[in-house]
Structure 1
């Protein structure tokens, strides 16, 4: 499978550096311009299907892609961003002020700590990797419209990297990453922001 991984356009929460995964935040004007650039980039791609996170910020983009490409769209829960529970919508400073004990534990024990009313990193990783494992050996090209955290896991998993190596990739809003996966071997082909 060839993967075109696309992070949603910039939102107000991105600009304000808020912790958010399952919360909604509208696009900034720059984010709307990013979507236009992404649509121009993908319009000549040969794509078999589009998968999208259930979040509004990804579904809006994916729906526009369907209009341009005329392919099927499937909403996939596994492509949703991590649920940050009690930290949703807060800046890191606000999270530290409001939930100091929980935030310190989250930062120190990131992989194992279950955020109250949220999830933990290991469960998040597993749901993304399980979805990728279902489709990675198929033929064709898919677009996955998703989030920065999901894209880090996808790169880590498809390229055979360690969990810590995911942090070597800075994935900005509106970024596109193209990967090839064939016979157990993944390659990163492009990592771009087309605007």
Structure 2
């Protein structure tokens, strides 16, 4: 565990990447490197404009194209270049990647049941468990926080990553059914002080056109 400085509040803005065609098709992307569609590019620019006055001191991003392009668009608005954080990549969904949720359910009913039931140790075939993903994501989150005491930073990442960070910050188990939304290009603020994490705001979409897609399934 990274030791977090104890006296200065660090705020972290978590931004999900903009929409892709596979999001629109309800197709599982995982670590397949899909780019933004036109809606996603507009969403990325809108997120950047929204954060222009937020006092962001550093910008990090998953190195997958859909996140990196979103981060570049945000960076163009706030005057920062993104720093690559591969640890913030989406979960590896193995044989599920490239399939729609319905296709995955039909082809791999047992595995899909474990996935849908949030079995934290289930790693798909050639994939990654929630437990393993949680370790890599939260380790990097704590590292970023420790590097920026008293500052506000932004991280562009993915729906599955936001899912585990929400549970980490709130102290909820990975197996708990999701009770929050994860819209494309949604803005989420968390903070840490004295080693204690807080969820400040979640799922802000006021900067976006109506209809930002939620990460599925819940």
Match of 2:157 among 143, 146, 152: 146
User: What residue is the counterpart of 1:24 in the other structure?
Assistant: 33
User: What residue is the counterpart of 1:180 in the other structure?
Assistant: 191
Contact 2:49 2:77 in 1 (8 A): no
Is residue 2:167 matched to residue 1:189?
A: no
- How many pairs does the alignment contain? 195
User: What residue is the counterpart of 1:46 in the other structure?
Assistant: 55
Q: Of Structure 1 and Structure 2, which has the larger fraction of its residues in helix?
A: 1
More deviation in 92-101 or 111-120?
92-101
Describe the superposition over 1:25-73 as per-residue Cα deviations: whole angstroms up to 9, x where unpaired. Answer: 3323322221121011011221111110111001111122222323352
Describe the superposition over 1:117-164 as per-residue Cα deviations: whole angstroms up to 9, x where unpaired. Answer: 111111011111111222334411110100111112222223333334
Is residue 2:97 matched to residue 1:88?
A: yes
User: What residue is the counterpart of 1:99 in the other structure?
Assistant: 108
Unaligned runs of 5+ in 1: none
Contact 1:156 1:166 in 2 (8 A): no
Evaluate the alpha carbon distance shift between residue 61 and residue 108 of structure 1 in structure 2; reply closer, same or farther with a 3 A threshold: closer
RMSD over aligned CA atoms reads 2.0
Is residue 2:166 matched to residue 1:155?
A: yes
Within-5 A mapping of 1:7-18: 7-18=16-27
Report deviation, 1:183: 1.0
Evaluate the alpha carbon distance shift between residue 2 and residue 166 of structure 1 in structure 2; reply closer, same or farther with a 3 A threshold: farther
**C-alpha distance in structure 2 between counterparts of 1:65 and 1:91, whole Å:** 29
| TM-score relative to the length of structure 1 | 0.90
Unaligned runs of 5+ in 2: 1-9, 209-218
Evaluate the alpha carbon distance shift between residue 95 and residue 23 of structure 1 in structure 2; reply closer, same or farther with a 3 A threshold: same
Report deviation, 1:109: 6.1
| TM-score relative to the length of structure 2 | 0.81
Evaluate the alpha carbon distance shift between residue 66 and residue 37 of structure 1 in structure 2; reply closer, same or farther with a 3 A threshold: closer
Which segments of structure 1 move beyond 4 Å, counting only runs of 4 or more?
A: none
